[in-house]
Amino acid sequence: MSSKAEKDKQKQIQDRCLSLLNQMLKDDDNKYCVDCDSKGPRWASWNLGIFLCIRCAGIHRNLGVHISKVKSVNLDSWTPEQVVNLQQMGNSRARAVYEANLPDNFRRPQTDSALEAFIRSKYEHKKYIAKEWVQPPLPKVNWDKDIEEEAEKQKKKKREPKPGSIMRSVPSIVPNPLPKPISLSPKLSSNKKPVSTDSNHSTDLLGLGKKLNLV
């Protein structure tokens, strides 16, 4: 595969990843940070399958990548496997798993130190996790076929003429007006003197002839 084709493919993968991530963020439970309930999370721990605010994302980074692997939704590159793992979990299911044994009267901490202690208890020590929970393996995803089909659709769209383009491409044909016939009769008639039918004129001619005969 050429470098240009590979770049185009990677761009299509990233575009699709971002589209799916933004779609997931429209889910009601994903609109809030899974740990502190802050609105509008733009970070995620893809191996845990959760969406986070920037403050909780920083705490998750401190846990180490063996516990939580954090990425920015917009600023980082994503793989299909990471996105699908987030799809399979999400904040709602993650709370059901990692907060299964949370006390009923529990109030989410807001100070940095209390929040970090809660996050460590939740993910590092698994204090509140559902006992029956087993972490599934990372899903295997192959978008090659889907991307190729989408690329083929785009090529077909480019080849197809847009509605009305055929009519615009053909120049409008305006019939040339037929040349007016050239009439010679007016000129001839203007130079030709009318023949007089006056009887007096005929008499003069006859009279002239008589005079000539006398001479």
Tens digits of residue pLDDT in 134-143: 888 888 888 8
Buried b (16+ CB within 10 A) or exposed e, 103-128: eeeeeeeeeeeebbebbbebbeeeeb
The average pLDDT across 8-33 equals 94
Angle between helices 80-88 and 90-98 (to 10 degrees): 60
The average pLDDT across 160-164 equals 67
Cα of 22 vs its chain's centroid, Å: 15
Region of residue 206 (phi > 0: left; psi between -120 and 50: alpha; otherwise: beta): alpha
Band the pLDDT of 179: cuts 50, 70, 90: low
> What domains sit in the chain, N to C, each tagged with a CATH number?
3-151 (1.10.220.150)
The whole-number pLDDT of residue 125 equals 97
CB within 8 Å of 142: residues ≥ 6 apart = 80
DSSP state at residue 104? T
The answer, as to whether pTM is greater than 0.85, is no
Please, what is the average pLDDT of the chain? Answer: 82
**Where are the extended beta strands (E) located within 4-145?**
43-45, 50-52, 70-72
pLDDT (tens digit per residue) in 111-136: 999 999 999 999 999 999 999 998 88
Q: Are 118 and 108 in contact (CB under 8 A)?
A: yes
